[in-house]
Chains A and B, each alone.
Chain A
Amino acid sequence: MKILVPIKRVPDPATTIRVLADGSGIATDNVKWVINPFDEIAVEEALRVKEKQPASEVVVVAVGEPAWQEQLRTALAMGADRAVLVRISPPVDTGAVARILARVAADEKPDLIILGKQAIDDDSNQIGQMLAELLGWPQATFASKVELADGRCTVVREVDGGLETLSFPLPGVITTDLRLNEPRYASLPGIMKARKKELKEIPVETLGLNLAPLLKVRRLASPSKRQAGRKVASAAELVSLLHSEAKVL
């Protein structure tokens, strides 16, 4: 079983994000960078498969700048076997990332691709779906449980009405939801071992892909500050205010 796990470098969820005055991006000084938490869950899930099937190989891949090595090394320290960094300079849109990952998948020929359902920076929630489409593979998104047996994958996914169970033949694409697992820490011996694991860099130009962005980020803005709430004396007053002031009734 070979599992490909695409990961993204994002600001630590605990970081306070500040939008630059000109709206062109976020201030990156003092930002701590981490593996996108949903992708970290994907790494963990791949490692759990490997624990059950020791002959498995877990390959982590990222599409980004040289600094992204840091997150790939973290995944290697958690236990992934090797890493691939496709080097590209921003801006990169989701379509380009999906096309690059599809190309890496074509070269690597994994049995399964697991990745986060979305990245916590732009929350686009597109890469897994696009990747499955480009590869012509089945997909199961928002997985809260994954089981592998006899060349098939069974995924329980969280949908609005409850739980849905899907089953598909490998190869396929899974995107992870929050409750799939709790990722391990990189152990200290794991961190030392990771230093000797392979991290291959591929300049994106060598892939010969057309990556012209279809999406352009025009401006970023902070959400407007929330107003303080107000206490009302009675249900009647509430209804009246919802009608006259909030105009939602």
Chain B
Amino acid sequence: MARSLGDLDFFGLEEFLAPEERLARDTVRAFVEREVAPVIERHFAEGTFAMELVPRMGELGLFGANLTGYGCAGMSNVAYGLMMQELEAGDSGLRSFASVQSSLAMYAIYAFGSEEQKRRFLPEMAQGRLIGCFGLTEPDHGSDPAGMETRARRDGDGWVVNGVKRWITNGTVADVAVLWARTDDGLRGFLVEKGRRGFSTHDIQGKFSMRASITSELVFDDVRVEESERLPQAAGLKAPLSCLTQARYGIAWGAIGAARACYLCALDYTKARRQFSRPLAGYQLVQAKLVDMLTGITNAQLIALRLGQLKDRGQMRPEQVSFAKRYNVVVALEAARAARDLLGANGIVNDYPVIRHMLNLETVNTYEGTHNIHTLALGRAITGLAAFD
């Protein structure tokens, strides 16, 4: 593979990064170049997740890196964002794994778990020895989680859960599922471990996107869960939504990585390939596309960095995360499509990473709040009028 990851820093944002933030980024970049890039096309082609990379990511301290204590690295949110960017320059599926492990599963336990739950799960999850997933979305309730049908009813001193969760990243490989279910007291969160009687999982087949990532369905058929397995601090839909805000923050950064990989690939390709009398990059139509890509990616970088600064100060608002997720992902998707076009026939084969990123980004555009839903969230934030129920 030619250069696919290098730097793209048109506005000199490097100087706003602390030394340890740069180092963390460089560590993940080196890991992706040396250990992810050589295997990722095969995993995508075969539709398998690169499980062999999980212990390595654990060793490097990638999981829950912006959490403090319980064996987590305690890095800044900017550093965490940079890591997500570098992982997604490798593959959106790998970044999805890290997002779900860190921002959804670990964060849910970190924010809403009991001391005992935190001590038991977080250090093992930080090391990648335990894998988590996050069960919120259902077959009939995606953008509308409030309509969820999965129920947990009281049963003596515990609970019994029934329901189906779908589109769950890491579902079949997870050791523990963070499960959200409706109860008589409102929405509650539970930790359901693999192998529990009545709890089954299977993978969703036939994906054309995120093929190097596991996407599953979780089925709960009279599953008994103890009260000690309930997340005691989580009450209402606010709890899972706050986890999604964490994950979306990482996605806003991650998308930049995939877009950058596509842009650099297209730049190299069009400079090297000659048609008629000159390199492709010497044509105005091609330059216009490259410049639009550069502009979009640079805007996305500025947004992500500012968002990270706000998050590190505790001032980030959810609508700002909606803004960043919505804009950065669509910019990345457009950049990937433009790169696909510029590579011509080579843009549809896996000799180049572009088609893989492009297909993956279709998922990134949809999950964690679709582009449309974030539009509505922003519309409500600026008008005070909700355009949805």
Contact = CB atoms under 8 A, between A and B. Distances in A.
Interface of A: 14, 32, 70, 73-74, 77, 185-192, 194-195
Contacts of B20: 73, 77, 191-192, 194-195
Contacts of B60: 185, 187-188
B19 A73 contact: yes
B232 interface: no
Contact of B24 (A14, A32, A70, A188): A188
The secondary-structure label for the interface of chain A is: helix
Interface of B: 6-7, 19-20, 23-24, 26-27, 30-31, 59-62, 65, 73-75, 79, 83
A189 B61 contact: yes
Contact of A186 (B27, B62, B74, B83): B27
B27 A188 contact: yes
B73 A192 contact: yes
The 7 residue pairs across chains A and B that have the minimum distance between CB atoms: A188-B61, A188-B73, A185-B27, A189-B61, A189-B73, A187-B61, A191-B20
A70 B18 CA distance: 11
Contacts of B30: 185
A73 B23 contact: yes
B385 to A, nearest CB: 43
A189 B20 CA distance: 10
A191 B31 contact: no
Main secondary structure of the interface of B (DSSP, over half): helix
Given A14-B6, A188-B73, A70 B19 contact: yes
27 contacts: A70-B19, A73-B20, A73-B23, A74-B23, A77-B23, A186-B23, A186-B26, A187-B27, A188-B24, A188-B27, A188-B60, A188-B61, A188-B62, A188-B65, A188-B75, A188-B79, A188-B83, A189-B61, A189-B73, A190-B61, A191-B20, A191-B24, A191-B73, A191-B75, A192-B20, A192-B74, A192-B75
A185 B60 CA distance: 8
B163 to A, nearest CB: 36
B80 to A, nearest CB: 9
B95 to A, nearest CB: 16
A14 to B, nearest CB: 7
A109 to B, nearest CB: 30
A77 B21 CA distance: 12
Contacts of B74: 192
- Determine which residue in B6, B27, B83 has the highest number of CB atoms from chain A within 10 A of its CB, and name it: B27
Contacts of A73: 19-20, 23
A194 to B, nearest CB: 8
Nearest to A185: B27
B308 to A, nearest CB: 16
Given A70-B19, A185-B60, A191 B27 contact: yes
B253 to A, nearest CB: 16
A185 B61 contact: no
Contacts of A190: 61
A186 B73 CA distance: 12
Contacts of A191: 20, 23-24, 27, 73, 75
